[in-house]
């Protein structure tokens, strides 16, 4: 099957020049591109309570999501969110095929913008092809140069915006102007910018064809009721060119006039008439292309259309099917779980570390003492007071916390405090499990506890 290495090593991909096409799906795609990228570029600039509404403050290890502040300890939420995102992808793939690929994937969306810039500077498909073949001239340099200028500027802005999700974007703006930007921030900005430039400007459909894992396994989610883009072979064949005046029935031809427009508009360079192929990202450009020709020929639209395998074979399409229920139920359960756990989240973290250097101390008056370091993290934005308690052994008491065992922690602050737990000798023997607790003074339902061990003399 494989060609000899020496031959294949020097084969390079032929450049695809996607032809521009207008139509219903092209408009949808424009709306999706503008909305999604608009969100990407605008969101860092939104403020909430005098701070950036969405900021993943990595240097401070805090994530701000509108009114919520998440800490590294909240990582399970993020993990759950990612699982939900993956499952949603499965759900929508089973239902509507590769909607993600065609309209929402960052690769598609950024490629779309880069192709627009290419069209503004280098012109239509045939002009671009001619320009590439032509020898270098002032005109070619000007067109190629302005394309590169647009691409690079846009990429840099993209990198800057990306970094703005991790460093306050307004400060970043002034830092760039004053050139006091930190080395790593600059590095990641350029890194992301360069990745955008390479992926959207040059690699394009190659990313989907060779590098994307989803493109390879998405067919596992497909069944005969999944929405796909398909060429209606029964209607189209036998294909062939004809004059508009020719009666296709008399000429013995199908509806396909073999104009190859569907192939020219395809961003991955396939021929949809050869059937469903994994390279197809379901962007629907071929539908727009074919519809425009059908309109010109006065044939009904839909020779290439969104359909299902069942529909193509004149069978009934079932939207509700076991697969949808399984994905749907799982998705609902996970979303409900995430929402409940976030709603009932206690914004306090308590860590108890037992002093490892000593087993226990005997104090005068037959008292046994163990030493701990407790760490109280106040995850809310306001300063709060907490009552520290300990239980689990008769007569256990705390020393070293302060008046009434109350501690004050700043909003978003961490308090580390060495404390001593004391038990009368009569009650202390061997290894005992005790429980530390922290309760907010302003709201007793905000309370958490953490187990630790108390060591006493072995009888």
Partner 1 sequence: MISEEYRGAKQWSRDKQAVFTVVWISFLVAAVGTMVFFALFDPVDLTGIFDDDLDIGRDAGYAAGFFFFWVLCALCSGVTAYLVRTAPKRDAKHREQ
**Which residues lie near partner 1 (CB under 8 A)?**
2, 5, 8-17, 58-59, 61, 72, 75, 78-79, 129, 182, 184-185, 187-188, 203, 206-207, 209-211, 213, 241, 258-260, 263-264, 269, 271
Least distance (Å) between residue 422 CB and partner 1: 31
Residue 189: partners with Cβ closer than 8 Å, 6 or more residues away: 156, 159, 160, 162, 163
Residue owning tokens 């073949």: 133
Least distance (Å) between residue 394 CB and partner 1: 37
The nearer residue to partner 1, 78 or 326, going by C-beta atoms, is: 78
The nearer residue to partner 1, 213 or 365, going by C-beta atoms, is: 213
Bridge partners of 407, per DSSP, are 386
The nearer residue to partner 1, 253 or 440, going by C-beta atoms, is: 253
Least distance (Å) between residue 189 CB and partner 1: 13
The nearer residue to partner 1, 243 or 313, going by C-beta atoms, is: 243
Residue owning tokens 């292309």: 289
Omega before residue 96 within 30° of 0, cis? no
Three-state DSSP at 434 gives strand
The nearer residue to partner 1, 173 or 269, going by C-beta atoms, is: 269
The nearer residue to partner 1, 51 or 216, going by C-beta atoms, is: 216
Three-state DSSP at 271 gives coil
Q: Are 51 and 304 in contact, with CB atoms under 8 Å apart?
A: no
Going by the DSSP 8-state scheme, the letter that residue 274 receives in this structure is G
Return d(Cα 427, Cα 106) in angstroms, integer: 64
Least distance (Å) between residue 211 CB and partner 1: 4
Return d(Cα 427, Cα 396) in angstroms, integer: 9
Least distance (Å) between residue 122 CB and partner 1: 15
- What the block records as the tokens of 312 is 């193509």
Return d(Cα 254, Cα 288) in angstroms, integer: 19
Find, among 114, 105, 110, 326, the residue nearest to 213 by Cα: 105
Range 65-89 burial, b when 16+ CB lie within 10 A, else e:
eeeebbeeebeebeebeeebeebeb
Three-state DSSP at 82 gives helix
The nearer residue to partner 1, 294 or 311, going by C-beta atoms, is: 294
Bridge partners of 370, per DSSP, are 421
The nearer residue to partner 1, 199 or 230, going by C-beta atoms, is: 199
Least distance (Å) between residue 440 CB and partner 1: 25
Least distance (Å) between residue 73 CB and partner 1: 8
Least distance (Å) between residue 266 CB and partner 1: 8
């Amino acid at each position: 099957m494989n060609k000899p290495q020496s031959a294949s090593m020097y084969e390079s991909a032929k450049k695809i020049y996607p032809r521009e096409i207008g139509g219903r799906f092209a408009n949808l795609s424009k709306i999706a591109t503008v909305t999604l990228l608009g969100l990407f570029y605008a969101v860092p600039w939104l403020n909430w309570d005098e701070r950036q509404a969405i900021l993943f403050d990595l240097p401070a290890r805090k994530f701000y999501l509108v009114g919520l502040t998440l800490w590294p300890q909240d990582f399970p939420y993020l993990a759950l969110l990612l699982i939900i995102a993956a499952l949603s992808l499965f759900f929508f793939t089973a239902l509507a095929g590769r909607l993600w690929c065609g309209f929402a994937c960052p690769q598609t969306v950024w490629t779309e913008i880069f192709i627009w810039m290419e069209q503004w500077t280098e012109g239509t498909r045939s002009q671009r092809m001619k320009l590439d073949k032509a020898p270098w001239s002032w005109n070619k340099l000007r067109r190629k140069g302005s394309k590169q200028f647009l691409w690079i500027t846009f990429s840099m802005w993209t990198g800057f915006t990306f970094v703005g999700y991790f460093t306050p974007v307004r400060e970043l703006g002034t830092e760039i102007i004053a050139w006091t930007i930190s080395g790593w921030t600059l590095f990641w900005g350029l890194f992301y910018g360069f990745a955008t430039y390479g992926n959207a400007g040059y690699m394009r459909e190659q990313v989907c064809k060779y590098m994307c894992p989803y493109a390879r396994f998405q067919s596992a989610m497909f069944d005969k009721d999944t929405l796909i883009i398909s060429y209606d072979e029964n209607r189209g064949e036998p294909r062939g060119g004809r004059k508009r005046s020719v009666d296709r029935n008399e000429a013995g031809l199908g509806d396909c006039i073999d104009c190859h427009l569907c192939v020219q508009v395809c961003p991955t360079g396939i021929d949809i008439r050869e059937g469903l192929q994994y390279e197809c990202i379901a962007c629907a450009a071929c539908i727009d292309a074919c519809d425009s020709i059908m309109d010109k020929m006065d044939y009904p639209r839909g020779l290439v259309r969104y359909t299902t395998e069942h529909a193509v074979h004149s069978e009934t399409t079932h939207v509700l099917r076991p697969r949808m229920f399984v994905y749907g139920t799982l998705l609902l359960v996970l979303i409900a779980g995430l929402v409940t756990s976030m709603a009932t989240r206690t914004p306090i973290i308590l860590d108890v570390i037992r002093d490892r250097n000593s087993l226990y101390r005997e104090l005068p008056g037959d008292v046994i003492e163990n030493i701990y370091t407790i760490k109280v993290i106040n995850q809310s934005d306001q300063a709060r007071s907490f009552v520290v308690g300990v239980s689990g052994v008769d007569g256990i008491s705390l020393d070293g916390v302060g008046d009434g065992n109350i501690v004050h922690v700043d909003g978003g602050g961490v308090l580390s405090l060495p404390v001593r737990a004391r038990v009368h000798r009569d009650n202390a023997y061997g290894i005992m499990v005790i429980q530390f607790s922290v309760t907010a003074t302003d709201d007793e339902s905000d309370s958490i506890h953490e187990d630790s061990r108390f060591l006493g003399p072995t009888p």
